[in-house]
Amino acid sequence: MLNTLTQQPADALLALIKLHNIDPRADKIDLGVGVYRTGQGDTPVFGAIKAAEARLVAEQDSKAYLGPEGDMGFVEKLMPYIFGADSADLGGRIEGMQTPGGTGSLRLALAMVKRAGYSRVLVGKPSWPNHNQICADLGLDVFEFNHATPDGRTDMEALRGALAAAGEGDAILLHGCCHNPTGIDYSNAEWDEIAGLLGASKVLPIIDLAYQGLGLGMEEDAYGLRRVLAQVPEALVSYSCDKNFGLYRDRVGALYVVVGDPADLTKVISNGHALARANWSQPPDHGAAAVRLVLEDEALTAQWLDELHQMRDRMRQVRARLGAAGKTGGVDLTPVGNQHGLFSIIPFTAEQVQAMRAEHGIYFAASGRINVAGLTMGNIDQFLAAVESVTA
């Protein structure tokens, strides 16, 4: 019966890694999958993580199972950064568990939503493609509303309309910061409004916080999430350490559930544990244990925050250069200067995306999403010249 299965396309984002790798040109540029790169084009292991890993190797005395919730020290140490030092557990209304990356967390969040009887998820379009893929795999309907206007602002009208038309049985998936793929984030005033709208509605917020610290700062990037949680009785938060600790392939994430009544917490999170058991049983330990060691140590925490700061500054410099380039060929790069995180969308046509690959060896998603961290002061002029030539 296996031969009745139909051929599935390779994941378009992950396929870019291979397409770039096999291109023999020395001056090729990878602006595809979302990994941070230094000014030299590398994605090194954070110094703070290397130090924690060395300690882990020296001191970890067992690799016996921990259980479906994983490393709870890791889960708890992250909470003040996510939810705020003063209200890290919202009065006993939050419980978390470790997951394999942000994707594992989203998978659990959406499966839990499905179990609880929700049937539809509101998703701003465009979104990270895996959001829709996970919903589809779980049999959840997706209702797409427009995330951004063509001139590069958030489309608040569309969001207001989607929420007004939604109600019981609906959840909404929101990007906490560094919107993937557009880089167009809600302002603080817009988050205030969204929090109010969600507080007055029956729609369940699921907040995907995969890039905390890569936008404006660790605190600043949590503003929207904290405002929403201050207004709603229930929510789910999917967290990823892939980017802000540089642990991509180690798959480090967490799921937090927020309930209205602390008495429901054990029951609700037990569903996360049961779903984890049926999916991967228990999350991989190494990366999360390294993060915990960083966060348990003041000096390593300071080092990590400093490394994150440097990443953020470099991406701001690249964005400033792109923004200052302004009108380049047939596209306007000005908005890129004001956007946040790793990604921006440049309105290339499908032919222009192909021409950038074929003629210039510059790889990025078919949507026109570029990973700005793939640009360096050494290759940005080459990129701008290529944009000029294919869009002129």
Which residues, listed in sequence order, are joined to residue 155 by a DSSP beta bridge?
none
- Give the residue nearest to ligand LMR (CB): 34
Return phi, psi of residue 240, to 5°: -125, 135
Is 29:382 a contact under the CB 8 Å cutoff? yes
CB 134 within 8 A of CB 110: yes
Query: What SS3 class is residue 154?
Result: strand
Instruction: Say how far apart CA 307 and CA 215 lie, in whole Å.
Output: 14
At residue 225's C-alpha, the angle toward residues 220 and 227, to 5°, is 90
Q: Which C-beta is closer to ligand LMR: that of 32 or that of 96?
A: 32
- The single residue of 243, 250, 285, 304 carrying the catalytic annotation is 243
Classify 216 as helix, strand or coil.
coil
Is the CB of 90 or the CB of 106 nearer to ligand LMR?
106
Q: Which is nearer to ligand LMR, 34 or 68 (CB)?
A: 34
Which listed residue (155, 208, 221, 242) is catalytic? 208
* Amino acid at position 148, single letter: A
Q: What is the DSSP letter of 9?
A: P
Residue 171 CB, shortest distance to ligand LMR, in Å, is: 21
Smallest gap from residue 105 Cβ to ligand LMR (A): 13
Cβ closest to ligand LMR, residue 44 vs residue 326: 44
Q: Are 167 and 212 in contact (CB under 8 A)?
A: no
CB of residue 133 to ligand LMR, shortest distance in Å: 10
State both tokens at 1: 């019966």
Separation between Cα atoms, residue 387 and residue 318, nearest integer Å: 15
Q: Is 63 a catalytic residue?
A: no
CB of 123 to ligand LMR, least distance (A): 15
**Whether 34 contacts 175, CB under 8 Å:** no
Q: Between residues 180 and 339, which has the closer beta carbon with respect to ligand LMR?
A: 180
Question: What distance in Å separates the CA atoms of residue 203 and residue 118, rounded to the nearest whole number?
Answer: 10
Any residues with CB less than 8 A from the CB of 22 and at least 6 apart, and which? none
Binding site for ligand LMR (CB under 6 A): 13, 33-34, 128, 180
Task: Quote the least distance from Cβ 86 to ligand LMR, whole Å.
Answer: 30
What is the C-alpha separation between 181 and 173, in angstroms, rounded? 14
**Is residue 239 a contact partner of residue 251, using CB atoms and an 8 Å limit?**
no
Q: Is 77 known to be catalytic?
A: no
Give whichever of 34 and 213 is closer to ligand LMR, judged by the CB atom: 34
208 is catalytic: yes
Least distance to ligand LMR, CB of residue 101, Å: 8
Catalytic residue, candidates 30, 71, 77, 128? 128
Known catalytic residues are 128, 208, 243
